[in-house]
Structure 1
Amino acid sequence: MKLEEIYGKYVYIKKYNLYAYYEIAGKFLSSSAVIFIHSAGADSRQWHDTILKLPDNHTYIVLDMIGHGKTFPLNWKAIYEKETYAEYLKEFINELGLTRYVLVGDAVGARICLLYAVKYKPKELFGIIAFEPMDYIPGDWFGPLGTLEKELKDSQAIAKWFISLCSDKTPHEKKSKVAWFPLSNSYNITIGDLYSASVDLRNNLKEISCPVLLVRGKDDPLVSSQDMERIRKEIPNSSIVEIENTGHFPQVENPEVTAKIIEDFLNKINFN
């Protein structure tokens, strides 16, 4: 696929009285799709490099979450509860009339996908690919008792922190792209994303029945291999893949391998 073949649309989400912006690539939109959710402080562009490496035999949908990219914020405020994002995803899927879909998310986006599966248990959900997921982050990792909040004073500081989560082997150009997303999105929205990351899923992941692939960049300093193994044990039908020379943002740092992982998973679960 070429970048020119990715096109954007809006759909009205009645429950929130806002228009959701999303992009489509691959096959013409049908009732079956692969839906991509970006990480904190990013938007649909974060998945472009990976989607361009995928075969065009599926419909790929990349959603701007509330307040990100071309989707306006809700009541002009940041969202601190990831449950709102999960509900927004549900309403979006309903508005498009999707009856078969796979969810793909990175970091906060991965947690939104897992929370969505736990909360709504949709029979239409065929699988989840969760890049750099966490089942639990202590509430003080970012909040009043934490140190991260004191360091992230502005978008520039967040951008530098995001770069530090990349592999040392990631080329400068790709690190610059990782940094650009929080620079081009709202600082307050990004802060809200990071706060919402602390939701506790430890006692609920066992409720997920669809196949789940957990993916980690081997050089990610934030999500450890021990974290991934713990989550794998929590989700009944799950497995782990790790990517060499890659950090916290595989879809930007290593889109070729990321696309191959996605393609292989779709084939494995017979999502045609």
Structure 2
Amino acid sequence: MKQNSYLSLGPHGFHRIAYTQWGDTQNEHKLVCVHGLTRNSRDFDIFASSVADQYQVICPDVAGRGYSDWLINPHDYGFPVYVNDMAALLAKIQGEKVDWLGTSMGGLIGMMLAAQPNSPIQRLILNDVGPFISKESLGFIADYLGLNPTFDTLSDLEQHLRLVHAPFGDLTDDQWRHLAEHSAKRTADGRFNLHYDPALAVPIKETDPQDVDLWALWEMIKCPVLILRGETSELLSKKTAEEMLRRGPDAELIEIPKTGHAPALMDPEQIALVKQWLNS
């Protein structure tokens, strides 16, 4: 694993985007993995290490998360900046042809890029997200995003993650500890905050939740798509997932048992399903 970064330009100046790389940096087969709303690149450590023999795997921290810069103006936290940052990433890694795996928010970014004319995305994997998200699901996300807890110990932070992200599935103790270690940011007094900018909540809190309808975007995608859905997911309903098979690109749906939003892709069986599709 290597760590790198680059500068991207937003509405209020440049900001630095951090990313991790796995595998041979000369490998022309590239897989970009992008995390969910409050997560970071290190969520993909186990997955990336398992496919690094086939791919150069690139996992960015979206602006405001992990080791990427926090944005000066919180109203810049949104998809126009995220899409621009990821286009800059593709230029940085010379990604004229890439596969894309996106969890939740990372999947939406992937959809937006894949729908563009001459998109470099050759194959798209959407981890528990689709072109329709109900306002009720978004309301739940806004509730926990608005929190900015401080934890006395890393174990306390881990317990918080186990509660908030229980739908990730049956993770091992080592996997929960891995998530905790890479979700923690030390405070000046030696305690811990979550490793993202609390101001991410500002643009979400200032707008009333509305259904997200991206069906027109979905129907513009031309590349093959693998849809992963957590069996009990509320963000990607079964109805939406099945509708995705009837409209738009050539898509395959796999439901992941005993998970909600979103499968963590740390389980060997889940990883094997993705690898099988990539190799098909």
Would you call these one fold, judging by a TM-score over 0.5? yes
C-alpha displacement at 1:221, in angstroms?
4.0
What is the aligned partner in structure 1 of residue 167 from structure 2?
A: 165
Q: Which residue of 2 aligns with 1:97?
A: 94
**1:114 paired residue number:** 111
Partner of 1:154: 147
**2-side partners of 1:128 and 1:19: how far apart?**
26
Paired amino acid for 2:261 = H
Deviation of 1:140 (Å): 6.6
Check 1:59–1:184 CA distance in 2 against 1; reply closer, same or farther (3 A cut).
Answer: same
Q: How far apart are 1:198 and its partner, in Å?
A: 5.9
- Is 1:184 aligned to 2:179, yes or no? no
Structure 1: segments with no counterpart, 5+ residues: 1-5
Q: Cα RMSD (Å) of the superposition?
A: 3.1
- Separation in structure 2 between the aligned mates of residue 201 and residue 178 of structure 1, nearest angstrom: 31
What amino acid does structure 2 have at the position aligned with 1:126?
A: Q
Report the CA distance between 1:160 and its aligned residue: 6.8
| Counterpart position of 2:128 | 132
The answer to whether structure 1 residue 222 and structure 2 residue 235 are counterparts is yes
Question: TM-score under structure 2 normalisation?
Answer: 0.78
Aligned partners of 2:9 and 2:85 also within 8 Å: no
Q: Is the CA contact (8 Å cut-off) linking 1:50 and 1:251 kept in structure 2? A: no
Distance (whole Å) between structure 1 residues aligned to residue 232 and residue 177 of structure 2:
18
Partner secondary structure for residue 27 of structure 1: coil
- The structure-2 alpha-carbon separation of the partners of 1:74 and 1:147, relative to structure 1 and needing over 3 Å to count, comes to closer
> Which residue of the partner structure matches residue 248 of structure 1?
261
Helix, strand or coil at the partner of 2:219: helix
What CA distance in whole angstroms lies between the structure 2 residues aligned with 1:53 and 1:192?
36
Residues 191, 129 of structure 1: alpha-carbon distance in 2 compared, 3 angstrom cutoff: farther
Instruction: Report deviation, 1:41.
Output: 0.6
- Alignment of 1:11 onto 2:6: yes
- When normalised by structure 1's length, the TM-score is 0.80
What is the aligned partner in structure 2 of residue 88 from structure 1? Answer: 85
Once residues 29 and 12 of structure 1 are traced to their aligned partners in structure 2, the CA distance between those partners, rounded to angstroms, is: 22
Whether the 8 Å contact between 1:221 and 1:247 is mirrored in structure 2 is: yes
Change (3 A) 1:28 1:82: same
Contact 1:215-1:243 at 8 Å conserved across structures: yes
Q: Is the 8 A contact 1:165 1:222 kept in 2?
A: no
Which sits farther off after the overlay, 38-47 or 22-31? 22-31
Per-residue CA shift, 1:134-154, capped at 9, x if unaligned? 312245754xxx576456541
Contact preservation (8 Å) 1:32, 1:101: yes
Cα distance 1:93–1:199, how it changes in 2: closer, same or farther (>3 A)?
farther
Q: Distance in 2 between matches of 1:193 and 1:97?
A: 33
| Conserved 8 A contact 2:28-2:56 | no
After TM superposition, give the deviation of residue 70 of structure 1 in Å.
0.9
Q: Which amino acid aligns with 2:58?
A: I
Structure 2 gap segments, 5+ residues each:
151-159, 185-193
In structure 2, how many angstroms separate the alpha carbons of the residues matched to 1:198 and 1:88? 25
Distance 2:258 2:195 in 1: 26
Amino acid at match of 2:279: N
Q: Identity across aligned pairs (percent)?
A: 18
Residue equivalent to 2:275: 263
Taking the aligned partners of 1:51 and 1:229, their CA distance within structure 2 comes to 28
